[in-house]
Amino acid sequence: MFHKHGNENIKTKSVYINLPEKHDLNLNKNNDEEVVVYWYRLPKFKSIYLLYLLLLLLAIFTMCLLFNSYLMKLLKFENILKLDYDYTVKSGAVDQCQMQLVESIPIHLNFTENSPSFMSSYDAWKLLLNISESSLDIGSFYWTLRGVDVIEDPTAAEGEDIFQSLMDVGLEGKVKIRIAQSMPTYKEPDHDTQLLQEKGAAEIRSLDFERLLGGGVLHTKFWISDKKHIYLGSANMDWRSLTQVKELGILAMNCPTLARDLSKIFEEYWVLSRNDSVIPQNWPSKYHTNYNFQNPMILNVNNKYNQFALLSSSPPPLTAKGRVDDIKAILNIISNAKEFVNIAVMDYYPLIIYRANKTYWPYIDDALKEAAINRRIKIKMLISWWRYSNPSEDFFLRSLQAISTSMPGVDIQIKRFVVPADEHEFLIPYGRVNHNKYMVTDNTAYIGTSNWSGDYFTDTAGVGLVLPDTVEVANNANRTNTIRQDLLSVFERDWNSPYTRDLEVEDVVAN
């Protein structure tokens, strides 16, 4: 580097050092060499320096905005997920549907004589098999419909009958049966579907979520018959789901708008089951839906009342344009409740639990706390307890219930539902549990296929049916029982039954 002194060019060195309080800048100075000490090299021209400073401040400001936006999404998700919808029916109903709840009540689980009761899952599946004329698409997790798949037991008879009916219908050739299932494993080898395919009764495809998303499963449970009738609910293709496990779902008949919309989700599974498939960044338009909270489909149910409806799905990469993500649907329903939120699920964890490193996943937990504290919404949660339950779940449930004592009007109640088992029933693996996955509020019914921990919404495929009330129903002008009211009656029956037990709250306050 050179500094010009008069007519001489003097060679200098640029040195960057931290100076003590006293320092002689003439030290180490040679005859033809001058040491120039800089605290920091600045641009030669002041205007450039100011420009650099301005750009630096602009960059810092931009980063702060981006971080704040990200933080808002994490901590104030209700601001972006609360999707208000108009309860007024602006036009006539789209479809004239027959809809009803369906249940599996395990043998020896007896409610009082006048308790609500509904069609069995077995009868619903049998009906769909009998009325199918051209197509039957089934989205499923795993298949163990026969006793030989699990353990030989007389109560497997209903599952074996469903399997044989599938075989018979498929071999007749009039009805094309397609089954999308999660990739078989050593634990769930899916011999049933293998046999159906070998006999030519059905076309089977398996989704490899490990390859597609790095983890997760196809946890969906639905049937679509002739693209106009559907079953959607908690029941797996398992004989235990008909006689040994408590399940809940919905049967919709002559409901083509709903069935065709569900078919779009099935077609996603179907195309992703190819070995060379990849999840598209943007799903093609044939997978898009027009139905969401801003524009729900309108159904006339049982020739009695009009009902809003929409389908939600998970995980986000499988949620095509227009479709509501499943977790957003759940949070939206909670945020739109005016009086109460009743939840019945097998598992509840505010965690990502199926990865090596468990992580906190607060969204539903925070939504319930916000509803209870800020809006004084009454919350009841009916969570299953069985021999495979993890005791650590109680800590998270207690943390919610303990809020009830924080201030007047805050009301969160939690119970465990226990399906009793005698000595023989106890020998049946993965039986005797309440497997329900639904929520009912004062204005909306939700029936899903997912347990409530983070994994089921981030990398596992599931579907939910959301049924918001119309103004007509909200005002209950015709005093007609609705699906939402039926679902509420199921919850209240179970909540008040002898099969529940209070969640024990330990004293966590230090002395």
Q: Which residues are catalytic?
A: 219, 221, 226, 435
DSSP reduced 3-state for 454: coil
Q: How many CA atoms lie within 13 A of 105 on its CB side?
A: 16
DSSP reduced 3-state for 114: coil
Residue 474's contacts (CB-CB under 8 Å, 6 or more residues apart) are 87, 443
Q: 6 to each of 3, 9, 10, 416, how far by Cα in Å?
A: 10, 8, 10, 92
Q: Tokens representing 490?
A: 């199921």
Kindly tell me the number of DSSP H helices and DSSP E strands found in the chain.
16, 25
| Continuous segment of H or E residues that includes residue 206 | strand 203-207
The phi, psi pair for 56, rounded to 5°, reads -65, -45
485 closest CA partner among 448, 438, 444, 435: 444
Q: How far apart are CA 154 and CA 148, in angstroms?
A: 11
Q: How far apart are CA 446 and CA 465, in angstroms?
A: 6
Amino acid, single-letter form, for residue 469:
D
Contact 12, 35 (CB under 8 A): yes
Q: How far apart are CA 388 and CA 351, in angstroms?
A: 18
Q: How many CA atoms lie within 13 A of 296 on its CB side?
A: 28
